[in-house]
Amino acid sequence: MSDQNTRGAVRAAVTVLERPAWKVSGWLGVALAAVCIAAGVLIGGGWLLAAPIVVGVLTASSLVIVQPGRTQVVRFFGNYVGTIRDPGLWCTVPLVERRALSIRVRNFETNRLKVNDADGNPIEIAAIVVWQVADTAKAAYAVDDFVDFVAVQAEAALRHVARSRPYDNPSESGGSLRDSTDAVAGELAQEMVERVSVAGVEIIEVRISHLAYAPEIAQAMLRRQQASAVVAARSQIVEGAVGMVDMALARLDERGIVELDEERKAAMVSNLMVVLCGDQPPSPIVNTGTLYT
């Protein structure tokens, strides 16, 4: 990394961390404001009226309402004061700027991205991301728009993970996107945690919601999968047929039912393999002659 990039990364770093803001019960502020109003009524007029007016205005500016599942990020003349997380009516530092920020659990589904897998085949992939704001200070000040930031980083992480594995792996020598969805989701969640930690966001869960070959190669890949399935099925059928033929010959020799020379054994093996491995049921033929006619 160049010195220029290094200096840019240092300048971009945001060290602010969430901390609780000073607060007291808002009803105390309401009571103080009521006292100021009463004092103003009693004073009636004159320069002494300025004192309860100033105190009342400052008290009113310090009142803040926090809804359940939301917070208030408090800033005083450009400086971060703290965050109020407890719901209710509170009285905090007067003359502050407040920003409501939700800490509820959110979720979204990424766009269906077209990427090339590890084998270079174009695929379509999408994921569902469940997340929540964990550090309100970072979410408010470390990035410009933390919601958009999470969405963009989710797609970037999804592209990177999709490129690291093949869509399908017939050799079963390693994990593929189709056969290892849980492992892929775990890798995706870990990469997203690293990418969005700067925004104070916690990733709760990531799941693959869509995975398929791109339309332009879907038919070709389907034929390849069908061919692989046929080969695998045939291999299992042949293996079972060989075992059955071997067992039949062994039983005939063991019980002495019939004595077959090598030529007849080969013919019997050929007939049994045709019967056991054929796609269509065989048509029986009754031999009314001798074994050698």
Phi-psi region of 281 (alpha: psi -120 to 50; beta: other; left: phi over 0): beta
pLDDT category, 61, cuts 50, 70, 90? confident
Lowest mean pLDDT of 41-55, 140-154, 203-217, name the range: 41-55
pLDDT category, 200, cuts 50, 70, 90? very high
What type of residue is 174?
A: G
What are the φ and ψ backbone dihedral angles of 84, each rounded to 5 degrees?
-100, 115
Mean pLDDT of 134-147: 93
pLDDT at 112 over 90: yes
Place of tokens 């008290």: 59
Structure confidence at residue 2 (pLDDT): 42
Nearest to 103 by CA among 80, 59, 69, 146: 69
Lowest mean pLDDT of 107-111, 155-159, 264-268, name the range: 264-268
Say what angle helices 146-163 and 181-196 make with each other, to 10 degrees: 140
> Integer distance in angstroms from the first to the last C-alpha of the chain?
86
pLDDT category, 138, cuts 50, 70, 90? very high
For 238-282, the pLDDT digits (tens) are 777 788 877 877 777 777 666 666 777 777 777 777 776 766 666
- pTM of the full predicted structure? 0.69
Percentage of the chain beyond pLDDT 90 is 39
pLDDT at 165 over 70: yes
Structure confidence at residue 1 (pLDDT): 41
Average pLDDT, whole number, for the chain? 81
Q: Where are the alpha helices (DSSP H) in the chain?
A: 3-12, 26-43, 50-62, 136-141, 146-163, 181-196, 215-255, 262-277
Phi-psi region of 163 (alpha: psi -120 to 50; beta: other; left: phi over 0): alpha
Place of tokens 């409501």: 100
Structural domains in the chain?
A: 3-99 (no CATH), 106-213 (3.30.479.30), 220-277 (no CATH)
Comparing 219 with 237, which gets the higher pLDDT? 237
Quote the tokens at residue 181.
Answer: 């969805």
Q: How far apart are the C-alpha atoms of 139 and 200, rounded to whole Å?
A: 5
Radius of gyration of the chain measured on its C-alpha atoms: 38
Antiparallel, parallel or unpaired: β 24-25 and 88-91: antiparallel
Quote the tokens at residue 157.
Answer: 């992480």
Provide DSSP, 172-186. -SS--TTT-HHHHHH
Q: Specify the 3-state DSSP secondary structure of 255.
A: helix
Mean pLDDT of 81-91: 93
pLDDT at 7 over 50: no
Comparing 54 with 210, which gets the higher pLDDT? 210
